[in-house]
């Protein structure tokens, strides 16, 4: 198999801190070119525009907050109703199911945030 000649050169500027970070990550590669080529061409990571990323995290944070408020309201009402015998067991069970659903939603949102965070370099 004939080896392809690499004739094009890419250059970019970075701070000392960024440079040191890249050098540390390149340990184990034959050269910096091999590391950067592997990183850019063969990695399945998604590069996200920072403003879009932080806007998404902000939206998810607000959603997590709303879900948390709903969970707290449901828990308070379940405890209040149970202590005071206000509602039947069927209604309490329905409220507990709602509580579980809200917890599942919260877990889904947390997973979404985690997935977004994973893609950041």
Dump pLDDT digits (tens) for 40-98.
888 776 666 778 878 888 888 888 888 888 888 878 888 888 888 887 888 878 878 88
Does 27 fall in a domain?
A: yes
pLDDT value, residue 2: 64
Does 18 fall in a domain?
A: yes
Instruction: Report whether pLDDT(121) > 60.
Output: no
Would you say how long the chain is, in residues?
121
Asked if 64 and 26 sit in the same domain, the reply is no
Asked if 38 and 65 sit in the same domain, the reply is no
Does 2 fall in a domain?
A: no
Confidence category of residue 19, pLDDT binned at 50, 70, 90? very high
Question: pLDDT (tens digit, 9 = 90+) per residue, 20-47?
Answer: 999 998 898 899 998 898 888 887 766 6
Number of domains in the chain: 2
Dist CA 102 CA 11 (whole Å): 50
Dist CA 35 CA 85 (whole Å): 66
Asked if 19 and 76 sit in the same domain, the reply is no
Does 85 fall in a domain?
A: yes
The two three-digit tokens of residue 20, written as one number = 């040191």
| Domain span including residue 74 | 50-118
């Amino acid at each position: 198999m004939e080896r392809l000649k690499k004739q094009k050169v890419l250059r970019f500027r970075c701070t000392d801190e960024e440079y040191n970070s890249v050098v540390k990550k390149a340990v184990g590669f034959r050269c910096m070119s091999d590391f950067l080529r592997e990183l850019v061409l063969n990695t399945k990571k998604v590069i996200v525009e920072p403003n879009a990323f932080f806007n998404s995290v902000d939206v998810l944070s607000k959603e997590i907050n709303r879900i948390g408020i709903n969970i707290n309201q449901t828990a308070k009402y379940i405890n209040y109703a149970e202590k005071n015998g206000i509602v039947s067991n069927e209604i309490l069970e329905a409220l507990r199911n709602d509580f579980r659903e809200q917890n599942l939603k919260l877990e889904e949102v947390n997973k979404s945030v985690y997935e977004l965070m994973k893609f950041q370099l």
